[in-house]
């Protein structure tokens, strides 16, 4: 159980880093969403495997699953969601302001070419 999860976290982090390094904003966004999920899963894993252990809900005997990482992950999910929400708005604003969703286009423009209206640039 633990081993599979660790491999899963590794795969997710790898894919997310690949996506973050792309130049399209949509991919970058998906990359960051995936990264935050991968990290949350990593924290959740720190509870240890639930095999042979009880959920700490009512008082019973037995080795319990550690409940703290779940509390941590709840906070982390909320924070990650907030940051992702900000990121979506930022990309939307960049798209509105610059008319592109490609970071390569966006950062290669100089201030002079940027200030020309798009219609004039086409001429």
Interaction site with other proteins (CB under 8 A): 20, 28, 32, 35-36, 39-40, 42-43, 45-46, 68-69, 72, 75-76, 79, 82-83, 86-87, 90, 93-94, 97-98, 103, 106-107, 111, 114-115
Backbone φ, ψ for residue 31 (5° rounding): -60, -45
Q: What is the widest separation between alpha-carbon atoms in the chain?
A: 78
Residue that the structure tokens 């252990």 belong to: 53
Helices 2-20 and 25-45, packing angle to 10 deg? 160
Q: Decide whether 18 or 86 has the Cβ nearer to other proteins.
A: 86
Cβ of residue 101: shortest distance to other proteins, in angstroms?
Answer: 12
């Amino acid at each position: 159980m633990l081993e599979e999860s660790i491999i899963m976290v590794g795969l997710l982090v790898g894919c997310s880093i690949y996506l973050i390094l792309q130049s399209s904003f949509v991919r970058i966004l998906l990359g960051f969403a995936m990264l935050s999920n991968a990290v949350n899963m990593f924290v959740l894993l720190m509870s240890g495997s639930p095999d042979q252990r009880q959920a700490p809900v009512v008082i019973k005997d037995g080795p319990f699953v550690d409940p703290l990482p779940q509390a941590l992950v709840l906070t982390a999910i909320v924070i990650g969601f907030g940051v992702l929400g900000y990121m979506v708005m930022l990309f939307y604003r960049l798209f509105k302001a610059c008319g592109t969703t490609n970071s390569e286009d966006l950062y290669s423009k100089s201030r002079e070419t940027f200030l020309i209206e798009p219609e004039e640039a086409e001429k």
